[in-house]
């Protein structure tokens, strides 16, 4: 990839990080490309379409909001620019394999952590394996 296209890709990724609600057309225009060319160029460079990449970034933010804020699923969807909570839930499920409600309930469950110190552990370091739920 040439330097000009590489700098445009870097600009696109920075814009997505700052303004995740940009449309692909707005993103392409900001980078100086036609939408169709930009989509092809982006997919070639990143291995996925701009829309898919934007949704991946939004779902990563959604996971943080669901676990570490007081936002419920509807508020999270609104904060991420989804006009419909059902569409947000569908995208979340497609990209994570579970619904936002399932993710939220799994994240709020207490997890037991065993602190293990044995002969293989360097001085001052502890291992934190999760306990097998079957035991």
DSSP string, 55-94: HHHHHHHHHHHHHHSS--HHHHHHHTT-S-HHHHHHHHHH
In the predicted model, is pLDDT for residue 119 greater than 80?
A: no
CA gap 47, 67 in Å, rounded? 29
Q: What is the pLDDT of residues 85-107, one digit of tens each?
A: 999 999 999 999 999 999 888 77
pLDDT of residue 132: 52
pLDDT of residue 67: 87
CA gap 45, 7 in Å, rounded? 12
Q: Taking a C-beta distance cutoff of 8 angstroms, is the pair 36, 50 a contact? A: no
CA gap 56, 90 in Å, rounded? 13
pLDDT of residue 130: 47
CA gap 126, 35 in Å, rounded? 51
CA gap 84, 73 in Å, rounded? 11
In the predicted model, is pLDDT for residue 124 greater than 90?
A: no
pLDDT of residue 33: 93
Q: Taking a C-beta distance cutoff of 8 angstroms, is the pair 12, 42 a contact? A: yes
pTM of the model: 0.73
């Amino acid at each position: 990839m040439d330097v000009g296209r590489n700098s445009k890709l870097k600009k696109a990724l920075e814009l997505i990080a700052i303004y995740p609600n940009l449309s692909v057309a707005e993103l392409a225009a900001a980078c100086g490309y036609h939408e169709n060319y930009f989509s092809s160029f982006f997919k070639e460079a990143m291995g996925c379409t701009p829309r898919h990449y934007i949704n991946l970034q939004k779902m990563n933010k959604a996971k943080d909001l669901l676990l570490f804020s007081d936002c419920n699923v509807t508020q999270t969807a609104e904060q991420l620019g989804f006009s419909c909570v059902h569409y947000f839930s569908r995208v979340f499920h497609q990209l994570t394999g579970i619904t936002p409600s399932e993710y939220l309930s799994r994240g709020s469950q207490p997890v037991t952590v065993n602190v293990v110190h044995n002969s293989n552990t360097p001085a001052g370091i502890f291992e934190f394996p999760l306990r097998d739920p079957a035991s």
